[in-house]
Amino acid sequence: MTSVPYLAALSALLGLGLAVYYYKLVEKAPAGNDRMVFLMTEIQKGARAFLQKEYQWVAGFAVVLAVLLAIVIAPLAAVSYLLGAVLSAAAGYAGMTVATMANARTTEAAKSGPSEALPVAFRGGAVMGFSVAGLGLLGLMFTYLLFVEWLAVDDAFEILTAYGLGGSTIALFSRVGGGIYTKAADVGADLVGKVEAGIPEDDPRNPATIADNVGDNVGDVAGMGADLFESYVGSIIAPISLVAFFLGLTADDASADGVLPLLVFPMAIAFVGMIASIIGSFLVKGGDSTDSHALSRALHMGTNVAMGITVVATIGVAYWLFSGDEFDQPIGLAISVIGGLIVGWALGKTAEYYTSDHYGPVKKIAAQSETGPATTVLSGVSTGMVSVAASVGLILAGVGIAYWGGQLAFVDELDDFGGIYGIAVAAIGMLATTGVVVSVDAYGPIADNAGGIAEMAELDPSVRDVTDALDSLGNTTAAVAKGFAVGSAALTALALFKSFEFALAAEGADLNLNIGQVETFIGLFIGAGLPFLFAALTIDAVGRAANQMIEEVRRQFREIPGLREGKEGAIPDSARCVAISTEASLKEMVIPGSLAVVVPLVVGFINTDALGGLLAGALVTGFALAIFMANSGGAWDNAKKYIEAGHHGGKGSDPHKAAVVGDTVGDPFKDTSGPAMNILLKVMTIVSLVFASAFV
Amino acid sequence: MTSVPYLAALSALLGLGLAVYYYKLVEKAPAGNDRMVFLMTEIQKGARAFLQKEYQWVAGFAVVLAVLLAIVIAPLAAVSYLLGAVLSAAAGYAGMTVATMANARTTEAAKSGPSEALPVAFRGGAVMGFSVAGLGLLGLMFTYLLFVEWLAVDDAFEILTAYGLGGSTIALFSRVGGGIYTKAADVGADLVGKVEAGIPEDDPRNPATIADNVGDNVGDVAGMGADLFESYVGSIIAPISLVAFFLGLTADDASADGVLPLLVFPMAIAFVGMIASIIGSFLVKGGDSTDSHALSRALHMGTNVAMGITVVATIGVAYWLFSGDEFDQPIGLAISVIGGLIVGWALGKTAEYYTSDHYGPVKKIAAQSETGPATTVLSGVSTGMVSVAASVGLILAGVGIAYWGGQLAFVDELDDFGGIYGIAVAAIGMLATTGVVVSVDAYGPIADNAGGIAEMAELDPSVRDVTDALDSLGNTTAAVAKGFAVGSAALTALALFKSFEFALAAEGADLNLNIGQVETFIGLFIGAGLPFLFAALTIDAVGRAANQMIEEVRRQFREIPGLREGKEGAIPDSARCVAISTEASLKEMVIPGSLAVVVPLVVGFINTDALGGLLAGALVTGFALAIFMANSGGAWDNAKKYIEAGHHGGKGSDPHKAAVVGDTVGDPFKDTSGPAMNILLKVMTIVSLVFASAFV
C-alpha cells in the first residue's frame, strides 16, 4: 500500500509523456496557408499575452497569501502553496499554447474532411487534458511524499492542503478574469460587428474578431483547465485532509494500519483513472464515416472506455485496500465512488436536458421568443430555476448514496465519519478521468476557433461546414465536464467543510455549527448573500469591459477608412482590441477575486462559528445560483441556435432578435458568473481550512 | 399587566370603528358621472368576483389543513386556524370593496385639485389599513383571552399559533393568486393593446383594461392587505410562542411573574401602535398647497407621527413591564423594538435607493438601455443582486441590535434566550403602526385606478394630471411598507424558527441543527433550492395566464368590428377578460401555494433535523432571492418611467423599447414571485411550528 503514491506519481509522469507525444503530433500537422498561420499566431500571441499579464497580477496576490501562510501557518505551507499555483499556471499555459496551435491545423485538416480534422482537434485538447491531470497529480504526490513520507514535517497535512489552495487561487482568477475577457470580447464583437455594422460573425473586417477568438482560449481553454486542475487536486486532497484532521494525524501516523488505506485510496483511484484516461485517449480516432453520430461516438469512445475501466478497477481497489479487520464491507467505498460518478453523469445529462435544443425547455424558450425579448428572458430564467431543483435533487441523491456506501465500509463506531469519508471520495469518481474529460472539453474551443480561422481566411465554405460539424459535437461534450465540475464542487466543498470542522476541533475549538445559534445564523445569512454580490460584481465587470470594447470597435469603424466596406488595405487594429480586453478584464478581476479570499479570512478571525455558517450558506446558495446562471445561459444560447437553424422564422426574424437578447443576457451568466461561482465556494472553504489553526 | 390583552382588544375595536367611519366618509363622497360609476362598478365587480372565487378555492385547502390540525394537534387549533383565515379574508374583502369604491370618487375629487382628492384616496386605503390591523389584533386577543386566560385549555399556545397560520394561508394564496392575476392582466393589456394595437394605456377600447385595473386591486390591495395581516399577527405571535415553547408554558403558567411581562409586551406595543396609528391617520389632510413636496409631507405626516409616538411609548412600556427584579435593564427591549423599526425604515430606504429614479442605480439601467434590451436586463439583474448584499447587511445589523438589546434586558443566565426574544420583538417595532402604514400603501393603487378611470371615462386631461401627481406619491410610499414587510419577514421567521426548535425540545426531541450533520445539511440544501423552484413556478404561471389573456384580447380586436378604430357601439367584452384572468390565475395558484405547506409537512414527518435545515436554508436563500426579484423589478419599472419622462430619447425611442423589455421581465419578479417569497418563508416556518408536536 505504501507504493500507491509512487504509482500515482508514475502514472502522472506517463500522462505528461502522453501530453508531450500529442504535442509533437500536433506540431507536425500542417498549419495551412500564410493567412491561416498569421491568424493562428495572432490568436496565440493574444492569448499568451493575456495569460502572462494575468499571471503577473495573480503572482502579486499569491505572494501576499504565501507570506501570510508562512507567518501564520508554516513556511513550508507557502512553498507547497506556490508549487500548486505554479503548476496550475504551467498546465494552463502549456495547454493553451498547444490549443492555439491546433486551431489552424484543424482547419487545414478539415479540407480533407471531419475524420482527418477530429483527431487533430482532440489531440490539441489532450495536451491540455494530460498537462492538467499529469502536473496536478505529480505535484500533489510529490508534496505528499516529500512532507508526509520523507521529511515527516510538522503540520504536514496543512501543508498538503495549501497545495490545493495554490491551484484554487489560479482557478479563481482564471475563471473570473478569463470569463470577463471572453464575454467582453464576444459582446463587443457581436454588438458592433453583427448588429451595428451588419457584417457576419468572425468576419476579418471586425477588429474584435481576433479578441473574440482569443477569448475562447483564455476563457474556455485556460479557464476551464485551471478549474479542472483545482477540482481534480481538491477532490484528492479533500478525503486525505478529512482523515488527517479527523484523527489529528501527524506525518508519523500516516502509515498506521487502518489509516494508510484511507489516505491512499483517493490516490489509488487517481492512478486507476489516469491509466484509464491514457488508454481511452488512444481510442479517439477519426474513422471513415463522416456521419455526425459516428463522429460523436468516436469522440466519446475515449471517455466512455476510461470511465468503464475506472468503475471496474475501483471495485478491485476497494477490495484490496479495505479487506482488513478494521473495515466492514469493502464494496462500500466503491459504491460511494461509483455513485459519485453516476450522479456527476446525471448532472451533466440534466444540464443537457435543460440546455439542449433537442428537448422541451429550449424549444419552449424558442417558442416564447415569438412574443418578444421579455418573454424569452423570463422563460430562460424559469428554466434555469427549475433546473436548480432537479440538480439539488441529484446532488442530494449523490450525498445519500456516498454517505450510505461510506457507512457500509466502516465499523459501527465510525459509521458517521465513514459516511462523510464516502462523500469525500465520491467526488474523485467524477474526476479520476480528468485527463480524457478535459481533452474532450478543450476540443470544443479548438473546433470553434478552427471555424473562425476558416471564415477569417476566407476558405471554401465546405471547410467551414466541416468545422461546424466538429464544433457542434463540442457543444454536447461540454455538458459532461460541466456536470462533473459542478457535482464535484458541491461534494468537495462539503468534505472540506467537514475537514474545517475537524481542524478546529483538533485545535480545541469546537465549532458550534448550530444554526439556532445567532453567530452561526448570521454567518449563514452572510454566506447566502455573498454569491449574489459576487454574481453582481462579475456581471457588472463584463458590462464595463464590454463597453470599452464597443467604444474601440466603433472608433475603428469610424476612423479607419474603408474598413466597413472591406476595401483592400483597410486593416483593423486587432491588437489594440486584444490589449483593451486584456487590461479591462484584469482590472475588473481584482475585486470579485479578492472577495473569495478576504471575506473568509476576516470573518474567521472574528468568529469561527460565523465562518462555519458562512461557508454552509455560501455553499448551498452559491450552488443553486451557479446552476441557475449556467443553465439559463446555456438554454438561451441554444434557443438562439435553434431559431437560427430555421425555426420560428429563422435568422433575422423578430423571434431571432428576441433570442439574441436572451443569449446576450445569458453570456455573462454561463461563461463568467456561473463557472466562477463553483470555484468561489471551494476557495472560501479551502482558505478556511488552511487557516483554521490560525483562527483559534 | 393582565389588562394588556383587554386594552389591545379595545384599541383594535377603536381601529375598526375608525375603519367604519372612513367607510362612511368615502361612501358620502360623489362618484362622478354615469361612465365613471359604470367603470368603478365593473372594477369592483371583477375584484369581488375574483376574491370570492379565490376564497372558495382556498376554503377547500383550509378545510383540509383544519381537519389535519384537528386530528394531529387539537380540535381547537382547527377553530383558531379557521378564525385567523376568516378574519384575514374578511379584512381583505372589506378593504378591497372600499378601495374600489374610492377610485372613481378620487377621480371626481381630482376635478377640484389634489388637496381634495388626496384625503379621499387615503381614507379609501385607511379602511383597508384599519380593517387589517383591527381584525387581526382583535381576533388574536380574543383567541388569547379565550384559550389562555378564560378556558386555559391544553396546548393553548399551539392553538394561538394556529391563528397565525390561518392568516398565513390566506396571505400565501392571495399573494400568489393575486400576483399572477395582476401581472397576467397587465402583460395582456400592454402587449396587445400598447404594442400590437398601438393604443395608449387605460384606453377604453382595450378589453383588458378593466382586468388590469381589477388586477391592481386584487394584487396590490387585497394581496398586500393579507400579507400585512399575516405579518402583523405573526410578529405578535412570534415572541409569545417563543416564550411559551421555551418555557414549556401551559395556559395556567401564563400569569406567573417574570412570564407575564414577556407575554404581554408584544400586545402592549400593538396597543400603543394602534392608538398611534389612529391619531396619525387624522393628521393626513389635503391642505391648501398643490406642491408635490407638500402633498408628500401631508400623506406621510400620519405615518411619521404614529411612529414617533410608538417609539416614545415603547420606552415607557418597557420601563413599566421590565422593572421587576427578574429583569436586568428595562431599556434593553425598547432598544430591540426601536432598532427593528429603524432597520425596517433603512430597508425601505435601501429599496428606494436601488429602485427610485432619483439615484444612481436606476439612472445606470436607463443609460444601459441605450445599448439595447440585453444590457438593460443585465444591469437590472446586477442592481438587484447588489441590493441583496446591502439588505443582508441591514438585516444582520437589525438582528445584532435586537439581540444585544434583548441580552441587556435579561439576567445573565437568560442572556441567550433574551437575545432571541429581542429579535422576536424587533419585528413588532416595524409593524405596530400597520394601521396607518397599510392605509398609505393602499392609497397607491386607489390613486392609480383613479387615473385609469379618468382616462377610460375620457375626462379632461387636467384631471389625469392631478391623479398622476397623486399616483407618483404612491410609488415612493410603497417603499416603506415593503421594507417593513421584508424586514419583519426575516425577523419573524427567525423567531418562529427558534420557537420550532424549543417546541421540539419540549416534546423531548432535541433538534440537531448542526449543519455538519448530514440530515441537517441535506435539509439546508433542499431549503436553498426551494425558493428557486417557487420562483420558477410563479414566473411560469404568470406566463401561461398572460398568454391566455393575450389570445383573448387579440380575438376581440379581430372579431369585434370597429373596436380597434374606436367606433361608436363597438364595445369590448371586458367581463370575459376578467373571467379569464380569474380562472387562469386561480388554477395556477394551486401548485406553488401548496408547495409551501406540503413540503415542510412531508420533510418534518420524515426527519425533523432535515426540516430544521430546510427552514434555515429557505429563509436565507429565499430572503436573498425575494430582495433580488423585488428590487430588480422595481428598478426596471422606474428606469422605464425615467426614460418616459424624457431622458435617453423618451417615449417611443429605442432605449424606451429596451426599457419596456426590462420592465416586463421585472413585472412577475416584483409583483408575483418576490412578494410571495416572503410569505412562503413564514408559512413554511409556522406550519412546522404548529405541527412540531406531531412530527415527534
Tell me which residue in B378, B391, B547 faces A665 most closely, judged by beta carbons. B378
What's the pLDDT band for B289 if we cut at 50, 70, 90?
A: low
Q: Which residue in chain A has the smallest CA separation from B529?
A: A389
Nearest CA of chain B to the CA of A529: how many Å? 5
Average pLDDT over residues B543-548: 90
ipTM above 0.85, yes or no: yes
The grid cell for A332 is 462500500
For A590-617, what is each residue's pLDDT tens digit? 999 899 999 999 999 999 999 999 999 9
Residues contacting residue A150 through CB under 8 Å, at least 6 positions apart: none
On chain B, the residues whose CB falls within 8 A of the CB of A547 are 371
Nearest CA of chain A to the CA of B486: how many Å? 14
Nearest to A272 by CA among A496, A434, A509, A475: A434
Q: Which residue in chain A has the smallest CA separation from B661?
A: A374
For residues A179 and A215, give the distance between their C-alpha atoms in angstroms, rounded to a whole number. Answer: 8
Nearest to A494 by CA among A583, A449, A427, A550: A427
For residues B136 and B432, give the distance between their C-alpha atoms in angstroms, rounded to a whole number. Answer: 12
For residues B306 and B7, give the distance between their C-alpha atoms in angstroms, rounded to a whole number. Answer: 18
Nearest CA of chain B to the CA of A584: how many Å? 18
Tell me which residue in B399, B494, B532 faces A389 most closely, judged by beta carbons. B532
Cross-chain Cβ contact A515/B515 below 8 Å: yes
Average pLDDT over residues A83-106: 95
- Give me chain B's average pLDDT, please: 91
What's the pLDDT band for B482 if we cut at 50, 70, 90?
A: confident
Tell me which residue in B384, B396, B532 faces A525 most closely, judged by beta carbons. B396
Query: Is residue B507's pLDDT more than 90?
Result: no
On chain A, the residues whose CB falls within 8 A of the CB of B520 are 515
For residues B433 and B305, give the distance between their C-alpha atoms in angstroms, rounded to a whole number. Answer: 10
- Give me chain A's average pLDDT, please: 91
Q: Strand, coil or helix: what is A410?
A: strand
On chain B, the residues whose CB falls within 8 A of the CB of A501 are 516
Q: Which residue in chain A has the smallest CA separation from B380?
A: A536
Q: Which residue has the cell 504551467?
A: A90
By the 10 Å C-beta count (0-12 exposed, 13-18 middle, 19+ buried), A252 is classed as exposed
For residues A75 and A73, give the distance between their C-alpha atoms in angstroms, rounded to a whole number. Answer: 7
Cross-chain Cβ contact B620/A530 below 8 Å: no
- For residue A410, what are the β-bridge partners? A327
Query: Is residue A422's pLDDT more than 70?
Result: yes
Which of A377, A385, A497 to substitute to test the interface with B, most B CBs within 10 Å? A385
What's the pLDDT band for B479 if we cut at 50, 70, 90?
A: low
Asked whether A395 and A494 are in contact (CB, 8 A), the reply is: no
Q: What percent of chain A has pLDDT over 90?
A: 66
Residue A357 main-chain phi, psi, to 5 deg: -80, 10
Cross-chain Cβ contact B540/A379 below 8 Å: yes
- Can you give A497-516 as a three-state secondary structure string? HHHHHHHHHHCCCCCCCECC
Tell me which residue in A396, A522, A660 faces B522 most closely, judged by beta carbons. A396
Query: Is residue B118's pLDDT more than 80?
Result: yes
pLDDT of residue B478: 67
Asked whether A22 and A75 are in contact (CB, 8 A), the reply is: no
For residues A96 and A589, give the distance between their C-alpha atoms in angstroms, rounded to a whole number. Answer: 20
Cross-chain Cβ contact B616/A389 below 8 Å: no
The grid cell for A78 is 507557502
Least confident of A19-23, A493-497, B306-310, B482-486: B482-486
Cross-chain Cβ contact B529/A191 below 8 Å: no
DSSP for residue B155: T
On chain B, the residues whose CB falls within 8 A of the CB of A524 are 515, 616, 620
Residues contacting residue A242 through CB under 8 Å, at least 6 positions apart: A420, A421, A424, A495, A496, A498, A499, A502
The grid cell for A577 is 482590441
Tell me which residue in B416, B419, B621 faces A620 most closely, judged by beta carbons. B621
For B310-369, what is each residue's pLDDT tens digit? 999 999 999 999 998 889 999 999 999 999 999 988 998 899 899 988 899 999 999 999
pLDDT of residue A12: 98
Asked whether A369 and A655 are in contact (CB, 8 A), the reply is: yes
What's the pLDDT band for B103 if we cut at 50, 70, 90?
A: very high
What's the pLDDT band for B205 if we cut at 50, 70, 90?
A: confident
For B623-648, what is each residue's pLDDT tens digit? 999 999 999 999 999 999 899 989 99
Q: Which residue in chain B has the smallest CA separation from A368?
A: B543
On chain A, the residues whose CB falls within 8 A of the CB of B521 are 399, 494, 616
Q: Which residue in chain B has the smallest CA separation from A522?
A: B396
Nearest CA of chain B to the CA of A349: how many Å? 19
For B415-449, what is each residue's pLDDT tens digit? 889 999 999 999 998 899 999 989 988 998 899 89
Question: In the A/B pair of chains, how many CB contacts fall below 8 A?
Answer: 219
Q: Largest Cα–Cα distance in chain B?
A: 81
Cross-chain Cβ contact A403/B518 below 8 Å: yes
Asked whether B657 and B173 are in contact (CB, 8 A), the reply is: no
Cross-chain Cβ contact A522/B400 below 8 Å: yes
Cross-chain Cβ contact A513/B511 below 8 Å: no
Give one DSSP letter per residue of B262-324, joined into a string.
HHHHHHHHHHHHHHHHHHHHHT----S---HHHHHHHHHHHHHHHHHHHHHHHHHHHHHHS-S
Which of B423, B496, B621, B629 to substitute to test the interface with A, most A CBs within 10 Å? B621
Cross-chain Cβ contact B529/A377 below 8 Å: no
Q: Strand, coil or helix: what is A200?
A: coil
Query: Is residue A273's pLDDT more than 80?
Result: yes
Least confident of A221-230, A564-573, B470-479: B470-479
pLDDT of residue A291: 73
The grid cell for B325 is 427584579
Q: Which residue in chain A has the smallest CA separation from B377?
A: A665
Asked whether A688 and A559 are in contact (CB, 8 A), the reply is: no
Nearest CA of chain B to the CA of A472: how many Å? 25
In this structure, how many other beta carbons lie within 10 angstroms of the beta carbon of residue B602?
Answer: 10
On chain A, the residues whose CB falls within 8 A of the CB of B416 are 518
Asked whether B225 and B92 are in contact (CB, 8 A), the reply is: yes
Q: What percent of chain A has pLDDT over 70?
A: 98
**Residue B336 identity:** S
For A122-170, what is each residue's pLDDT tens digit? 999 999 999 999 999 999 999 999 999 999 999 999 999 999 999 999 9
For residues B336 and B314, give the distance between their C-alpha atoms in angstroms, rounded to a whole number. Answer: 10
For B35-59, what is each residue's pLDDT tens digit? 999 999 999 999 999 999 999 999 9
For A315-373, what is each residue's pLDDT tens digit? 999 999 999 888 999 999 999 999 999 998 899 889 989 998 889 999 999 999 998 89
Average pLDDT over residues A507-525: 84
For B564-575, what is each residue's pLDDT tens digit? 887 877 888 888
Tell me which residue in B384, B526, B536 faces A385 most closely, judged by beta carbons. B536
Which of A525, A542, A602 to substitute to test the interface with B, most B CBs within 10 Å? A525
Tell me which residue in A529, A616, A664 faces B388 most closely, judged by beta carbons. A529
**Residue B227 identity:** D
On chain A, the residues whose CB falls within 8 A of the CB of B503 are none
* Residue B590: its H or E element: helix B574-606
Q: How far apart are the first and last CA of chain A?
A: 35
Cross-chain Cβ contact A385/B532 below 8 Å: yes
For B127-174, what is each residue's pLDDT tens digit? 999 999 999 999 999 999 999 999 999 989 999 999 999 999 999 999
Tell me which residue in B389, B420, B532 faces A532 most closely, judged by beta carbons. B389
Which of A195, A392, A551 to substitute to test the interface with B, most B CBs within 10 Å? A392
Average pLDDT over residues B500-519: 83
Query: Is residue B481's pLDDT more than 80?
Result: no
pLDDT of residue A428: 92
For A661-672, what is each residue's pLDDT tens digit? 999 999 999 999
- For residue B410, what are the β-bridge partners? B327
What's the pLDDT band for A396 if we cut at 50, 70, 90?
A: very high
Query: Is residue A475's pLDDT more than 70?
Result: no
The grid cell for A254 is 500516516
Cross-chain Cβ contact B514/A516 below 8 Å: no
Sign of CA dihedral B479, B482, B484, B486: negative
pLDDT of residue B476: 63
For residues B55 and B44, give the distance between their C-alpha atoms in angstroms, rounded to a whole number. Answer: 16
Average pLDDT over residues A632-648: 93
B648 backbone φψ class: left, alpha, beta (φ>0; ψ -120 to 50): left
On chain B, the residues whose CB falls within 8 A of the CB of A511 are 516
Q: Which residue in chain A has the smallest CA separation from B370?
A: A547
For residues B376 and B662, give the distance between their C-alpha atoms in angstroms, rounded to a whole number. Answer: 6
pLDDT of residue A374: 92
Cross-chain Cβ contact B368/A516 below 8 Å: no
Nearest CA of chain B to the CA of A382: how many Å? 4
Which of A195, A511, A514, A606 to substitute to test the interface with B, most B CBs within 10 Å? A514
For residues B350 and B354, give the distance between their C-alpha atoms in angstroms, rounded to a whole number. Answer: 6
pLDDT of residue B258: 81
For A432-463, what is each residue's pLDDT tens digit? 999 998 998 899 899 989 998 998 888 999 89
For residues B29 and B105, give the distance between their C-alpha atoms in angstroms, rounded to a whole number. Answer: 6
Tell me which residue in B381, B384, B403 faces A518 most closely, judged by beta carbons. B403
- For residue B327, what are the β-bridge partners? B410
Q: Which residue in chain B has the smallest CA separation from A383?
A: B536
Asked whether B465 and B376 are in contact (CB, 8 A), the reply is: no
